[in-house]
Amino acid sequence: MLWEHKALLFTILLLYISQVAGLGEKNEDDECAELNNTTWQQYRQQGAKLQIQYLLLTRKNTDCAQQFDQESLTKQTSYFNISRPTKVIIHGYRALGSKPSWVKELAQALLRAQDANVLVVDWIYCASFAYNLVVENHREVALQISVLINQLQNHGCKPESFHFIGVSLGAHVAGFVGTLFEGKIGRITGLDPAGPMFKGADTYDRLDPSDAQFVDAIHTDSDYFGISIPVGHVDFFLNGGKDQTGCARSRFASIFVYFPVYGYVICDHMRALHVYMSALNGSCPLMGIPCSTYEDFLKGNCVDCDIFKGTCPVIGLSENSGIRMSPIPKEQKLFLLTTSSTPFCTHHILLELEVLPLDKTAEVEVTLMMENLSSEHRLRLHKDTTVYRTVLAHPSAACEIDSIRLKNTGARFYRQADIQLKSVCISELPSLRNEEPLCVNNINVRRGSPWTHDFVQVCEVF
């Protein structure tokens, strides 16, 4: 009963968000295949009737999708090439039956990165209206997709040549396809796999590492619409996997007071998709560092990728996400910080301070500077702690930092004593065995007198 109420609230929220967000897509030339859409009236007339169509995009028709089915393989006019790998895009829940406007952008990003067949699975007709009913449909959708994959195999396609990219609920659809093929599918990527009705589900019903030879996932809304548990060989938790930088927290709170997450849920949930598309462009590496929790990661307790033999996994199309080992560890949580906009990359700087014992609590502001770029972080210092470690996001590499500034911010209404630091060190993560941190020793940070130290260093070019 509780889940029925949650599903209803979930559905109402997404219905309203879809209207505000304008998730529809403009019609193109009639000769180009289009995604379906549906309305509440059509839904009542047709019910949750299973209707699936497939659209094909390749480098020969990046702007004009072809309708695709098993008979297309015998047509000379089809752009499908059996000798190329095949990417399969599966959208998720569609509250109002609207077309996912991001599909073509994702397909084109995939095609820029690799010469492949891109198949878009359009299951909008059975992905709309009540969320709990849509979840019940997801295995039947996967069954229909598996029929097409079987046909492609009969024409020479190998299971390992398929890479499924599932968004939200689409990730679990992809996972069930993988189950039907006993894990022989080459790869499945889940973009913020759906959480409601899946977190406690059996692995048979949701995405898990056994569904493909390699499964990776990106988590950006794990406290609400996304799943909070690892579901792949590697799981990237961006900014902890919950609240994303740049996503508003109360933009529409006055409009929809009963849904405190309203206004940022789409931003957080869809950030996984946008980060993935940015990673496909290859402008900068989005690298994750393995750690048991986000808190441990931020405290600098996880600094290397030894579990992956020194090679940190990256988001994108790299074979096995850049991991060069077999067998690949399963359900490894990876953490990374991002910026609020494309290309989302930032450098992870480990800041270490060793402080002489204090008589009372204090606060120090640390600023890392490079030309016109800077990042600052405030540390609360306690009487019973002398060593502090924290991971900061900085726009440039550690070797490009020109100077570091420490400021004793203290309290306004009482005099705070000077802060005596034995050392302050910075280094970039992941740590390399032959790389020493950059340290400055014996520092006295007086109240009202910022301390600044300039660095003279050059980044190595490889």
**Residue 316: CA count within 13 A, CB half-sphere:** 25
Task: Let me know: does 195 contact 226? Beta carbons within 8 Å.
Answer: yes
> Cβ atoms within 10 A of the Cβ of 141, count?
23
Q: Identify the H or E element spanning 179.
A: helix 169-180
Integer Cα distance of 137 and 397 in angstroms: 47
101 is catalytic: no
One of 18, 128, 161, 168 is an active-site residue; which one? 168
- The three-point CA angle 281-284-289 to 5° equals 120
Classify 4 as helix, strand or coil: helix
Task: Let me know: does 433 contact 426? Beta carbons within 8 Å.
Answer: no
Longest dimension (CA), the chain: 83
Integer Cα distance of 225 and 7 in angstroms: 11
347 is catalytic: no
Integer Cα distance of 25 and 124 in angstroms: 13
Integer Cα distance of 276 and 432 in angstroms: 26
Angle of helix 169-180 relative to helix 131-154, nearest 10 degrees? 40
One of 91, 172, 269, 394 is an active-site residue; which one? 269
Strand partners, 374: 369
**Residue 320: CA count within 13 A, CB half-sphere:** 13
269 is catalytic: yes
Tokens of 339: 């910026």
Q: Identify the H or E element spanning 276.
A: helix 265-280
Strand positions, DSSP E, 279-385: 289-290, 332-336, 347-355, 362-370, 373-381
Distance of CA 460 to the CA centre of its chain: 30
Tokens of 319: 């074979």
One of 192, 211, 221, 268 is an active-site residue; which one? 192
**Which is nearest to 100 in space by CA: 30, 44, 33, 23?**
23
Integer Cα distance of 249 and 400 in angstroms: 33
**Which is nearest to 429 in space by CA: 309, 343, 337?**
337
Task: Let me know: does 235 contact 332? Beta carbons within 8 Å.
Answer: yes
What residues are labeled active site? 168, 192, 269
